[in-house]
Amino acid sequence: NLGDRMCFVGGYGRRAWGVGKQGELVVAILFNVIGVMGDIWCSFDGETWSEVAPNGDGFDRRHGHAVVFFNDRMWVIGGNLSSTYYADVWNLEPTSGWDWDPDATTYGIDWADYTEVTASAPWGARTGHAVTVHNGELYLSGGKTSDGEYLDDVWKSSNGSTWTLVTDNISPDPENDTGMDKRAYHQMLSFDGKLWIIGGRASYHETIFDENTTMYEANDIWMSEDNGATWNEVTDHASFEQRQDFQAVVHDGAIYITGGYGGDGYVTVQGKDSILNDVWRSEDGVNWRAGFSKTVTMQR
C-alpha cells in the first residue's frame, strides 16, 4: 500500500489534487504545477518530492478529477482536459514499484499494474465531482459536464467498474429552497457512519456558461444517513467562508477543511475568487472552529 507516502496525481495550474496515508491519516495535498498534467509525484515527508510516473505513462493528462485510496489501490476517476471530459476509472496497485527506499533519489512504477477499469462509466463524462469511500464502496456525487450542466446525482460502486445510481436528483425542488443545489468542486466525506457534502460552486441553473448567469460559492453542509439516497441540510452557512476547490479530510474523529477559492459569495463566470489559506475543524459537522491556524502558509 502507500505506507507513509503522500502522492498527488495530475491537475491543472495550481490545482493538483492528491491523496496519501501517514499512519492512519489520509491526507490530501496541493502542489504548484504548470499546465494540465498527468504525472504522479510522491513524498515521505512533504518536503522532498520525487516523480514516480511522468506525463503520458498512464491515463491522459487531466484536472478536475478525483483521486482516492480504496481496496489497497490508488484510483483516478473522471476529470477533463480542455473540452475533453472523461468518464473513465483507473487504478494503480502498488506492488514492487512502490516498495521504495526512502533514501533513494528516483522511483519507478510498473505501469503494467496500472489498469483502466472502465473507459465509460454510466455516470457520464464530468469534472469537479467528489468521490469518497463509504461502507466499503466508492461513492461519487455531482460535478459538471462539458455542456456546463451542474449535476446533483449520487453513484456507488464496489469495484470501480459496475456503478449503481443511488439518486439522480438530490435537489427535488431547489427553486423553492427545499433541496440541495446542484454543484461541483465540492467535497464529499464519510464521517460518523454518514455521508457528508460540503460547499463547492453551486447553481440553480443547468447551464452556467452565460455571462449573465450568477452562481455562488457555498458553505452549506448536507448529510445522508441512508447511504446517499436522501439528504438533510445540517447548516446553510457554516462558520468558515464560502468556497470551492478546497480539500477536506477526516482525521482523529473530526472533519478538517483547508484552502480553496471563494470568500466573496455570489460570482459570475468572469468573477475572480480569493485564494483561501485557512484550516477549520469540526467534531460533529455542525460546529466549526479555526484549526491549526487561520493563516497557514500554503503554496497553491
Residue 292 CA: distances (Å) to CA of 16, 257, 280, 281:
22, 11, 8, 9
User: Is there a single domain that holds both residue 67 and residue 176?
Assistant: no
- State the Cα–Cα distance between residues 54 and 67, nearest whole angstrom: 17
Q: Rounded to the nearest 5°, which phi and psi values hold at 113?
A: -90, 0
pLDDT tens across 21-46, in order? 544 444 444 444 456 566 677 666 66
Lowest-confidence segment of 58-72, 112-126, 134-148, 165-179 by average pLDDT: 165-179
Q: What is the number of structural domains in the chain?
A: 2
Mark whether 134 and 71 lie in a shared domain: no
Mean of the per-residue pLDDT values of the chain = 77
Is pLDDT of 60 > 80? Answer: no
Check pLDDT > 90 for residue 216: no
Which range, 2-6, 263-267, 289-293, is most confident? Answer: 289-293
The answer to whether the CB of 46 falls within 8 A of the CB of 6 is yes
Separation of alpha carbons 9 and 76, rounded Å: 8
The pLDDT value given to residue 93: 72
173 with 87, same domain?
no
User: Domain range spanning residue 143?
Assistant: 121-300
Judged on CB neighbours under 10 Å (0-12, 13-18, 19+), 120 is exposed
Core vs surface per residue 45-56: b (16+ CB within 10 A) or e: eeeeebebbeee
* In a shared domain, residues 147 and 232: yes
* Residue 232 contacts residue 224 (beta carbons within 8 Å): yes
pLDDT tens-digit series, residues 87-146: 999 888 765 444 444 444 444 444 446 788 999 999 999 999 999 999 999 999 999 999
How far is Cα of residue 148 from the mean position of the Cα atoms in its chain? 18
Q: Give the CATH number, domain containing residue 137.
A: 2.120.10.80
Instruction: Tell me: do 270 and 221 sit in the same domain.
Output: yes
Whether 50 and 127 share a structural domain: no
Q: What are the grid coordinates assigned to 141, written together?
A: 456525487
Domain end call among 71, 100, 120? 120
The torsion angles phi and psi of 278, rounded to 5 degrees, stand at: -100, 170
- Kindly report the length of the chain: 300
Query: Do 91 and 25 belong together in one domain?
Result: yes
Ranges 185-189, 251-255, 277-281, most confident: 185-189
**Residues 138, 155: Cα–Cα separation, whole Å:** 8
Regarding whether 153 and 98 lie in a shared domain, the answer is: no
Contacts of 141 (CB under 8 A, 6+ apart): 129, 130, 131, 152, 153, 154, 155, 170, 186, 188, 197, 228
**Under 8 Å between Cβ of 200 and 180:** no
Residue 195's pLDDT is what? 98
* pTM for this predicted structure: 0.79
What residues contact residue 13 under an 8 Å CB cut-off, 6+ apart? 33, 34, 35, 63
pLDDT digits 0-9 by tens, 9-26 = 656 555 444 555 544 444
Which of these ranges, 8-12, 66-70, 179-183, 275-279, has the smallest mean pLDDT? Answer: 8-12
pLDDT at 8: 63
Q: What is the DSSP letter of 230?
A: S
Q: Are residues 186 and 280 in the same domain?
A: yes
Q: 216 and 116 in one domain?
A: no
Give, in order, the Cα–Cα distances in Å from 12 to each of 92, 131, 250, 273: 21, 18, 25, 17
Final residue belonging to a domain, choices 104, 120, 136:
120
Provide the pLDDT for residue 268: 44
User: Quick one: 40 and 58 in the same domain?
Assistant: yes
Residue 159: pLDDT over 80 = yes
| pLDDT computed for residue 11 by the predictor | 60
Shared domain check, 125 and 108: no
Final residue of a domain: which of 70, 101, 120? Answer: 120
pLDDT over threshold 70, residue 74:
yes
